[in-house]
Amino acid sequence: MPLISRKDSGLLARWWFSVDWALMGAVFLLMALGVIFSLAASPPVAERIGLDGFHFFRRHLLFLFPAVVLFVFASFLDARQVRRLMLGVYVAGIVLMVLALFIGPAIKGAHRWINIGPFSIQPSEFVKPAFVVLSAWLLAQARRLPDVPAVAIAWGLYGLFVGLLFLQPDMGQTALTTATWLGLLFLFGLRWRTIGLLAGGVLLVAVGAWAMFPHVRARVDRFLHPPQLPDGARDQMDFAIEAFNNGGLLGMGPGGGMANKHLPDAHTDFIFAAVGEEFGFVAVALVVMLYAFIVLRILIKAGRLRCRFCRFAASGLAMLFGLQAIINMGVNVQLLPAKGMTLPLISYGGSSMWAAALGLGVALALLRADVAEAEAAHEGAEAYGDDLASPATPAVSGIAKAAQGGQAA
């Protein structure tokens, strides 16, 4: 007999038969590839700065276990628990971001981290998925309750978060958050005039960032007008492109690459280039397909959800995850200006890995929340942040009526 039966009504049984195993398997495979790539790419970086060769690899494994636990734990939540968790994460993250400005260490001129025990945490990584979920809930409420200023509150959450990112400063995270927010607004539904005004505002902010921050201006200018270096001199972007050229179809083999001996961030921001050199085009294509599969599967399944909050939030988390991967890979192949942004679940970094695992776990929970809808339909719209009895969703309305009729009987 199976250990878990469909007749069971416990939490584990409901999760087991409603979770998206293909999506979960793809996430676990991406995590496993991150371990392999870290083992190949990080030792030269550690040795170059005087650390033990396996320093970053051991810490990567140390970060991985909590990430797996966080991912699986989050996938068990229902829609209401997701909202409560993410509200707590957002508030705690904002507080830590403020503290980081005053007591956090300055790394490369930025105050993005705060030390908690033996770890250095980047709070903004956790605020990103929390902001997406809370904004999705507010936009869903705006559809149900037009008199409530839910959209204005969502804009306030965005302004608070982006304002703190500007103060750090962190233009990459600002761009990522803004692009995801605009994607959520697109799903919510906007007039073309509003879209034009928002696009103009984003352009003005981008120009302002270029004018205000010398490091942003230097990176953009270098991207648009690559400097003429002396013979034999190369910068990190040249090493990244050279890594892909050296890798060919099957790569030079683990530990056989040369670029990670020169790239200062071969284990973080430029791990995609290190993968291309040591494992070749085949591995690069596999990584790209895994990211595409995860993002598209969430978007397709989210589009079928009846629960508006679940649909908005899962789609937003997929956009956040996919856009971060696109930015990292775009920088590695010189399609975008250099920006310190990790490759989700593959690059070294505890905050990035944990936040990505949290966001994907919540997305998995929201996709399965709709499966359990029939069991809880009699609880009404509040449980799912949407109007389950709406005429626009007759199937769910019928389920709710059937549940109510069963109770009356």
Cβ(31)–Cβ(67) below 8 Å = yes
Cβ(368)–Cβ(18) below 8 Å = yes
Note the pTM of the prediction, 2 decimals.
0.86
CA–CA gap between residue 345 and residue 329 (Å, rounded): 13
User: Domain for residue 392, yes or no?
Assistant: no
The residue type at 400: A
User: Domain for residue 286, yes or no?
Assistant: yes
pLDDT, one tens digit per residue, over 331-361 is 998 888 877 789 999 999 999 999 999 999 9
For the chain, how many structural domains are there in total? 1
pLDDT of residue 101: 93
User: Domain for residue 380, yes or no?
Assistant: no
- Cβ neighbours, 10 Å, residue 359: 29
Which H or E run contains 97? helix 79-103
pLDDT, one tens digit per residue, over 285-307 is 999 999 999 999 999 999 999 88
Predicted confidence (pLDDT) at residue 397 exceeds the cutoff of 50 = no
CA–CA gap between residue 343 and residue 328 (Å, rounded): 6
User: Domain for residue 5, yes or no?
Assistant: no
User: Domain for residue 217, yes or no?
Assistant: yes
Q: Which two three-digit tokens encode residue 253?
A: 């083999």
Could you give the residue ranges of the DSSP H alpha helices within 213-307? 214-224, 236-247, 271-303
Q: Report the share of the chain in percent with pLDDT over 90.
A: 47
What 55-64 contacts at long range (C-beta under 8 Å, 24+ apart), as own/partner pairs, is: 56/267, 56/348, 59/348, 59/350, 60/34, 60/35, 60/348, 61/35, 62/350, 63/348, 63/349, 63/350, 63/353, 63/354, 64/31, 64/34, 64/35, 64/353
Q: How does the average pLDDT of the chain come out, rounded?
A: 83
User: Domain for residue 82, yes or no?
Assistant: yes
**In which domain, by residue range, is 360 found?**
11-371
Radius of gyration of the chain (CA): 23
User: Domain for residue 6, yes or no?
Assistant: no
User: Domain for residue 242, yes or no?
Assistant: yes
Comparing 196-200, 226-230, 245-249, which segment has the lowest mean pLDDT? 226-230
* Three-class secondary structure of residue 158 per DSSP: helix
Residue 393's pLDDT band (cuts 50, 70, 90): very low
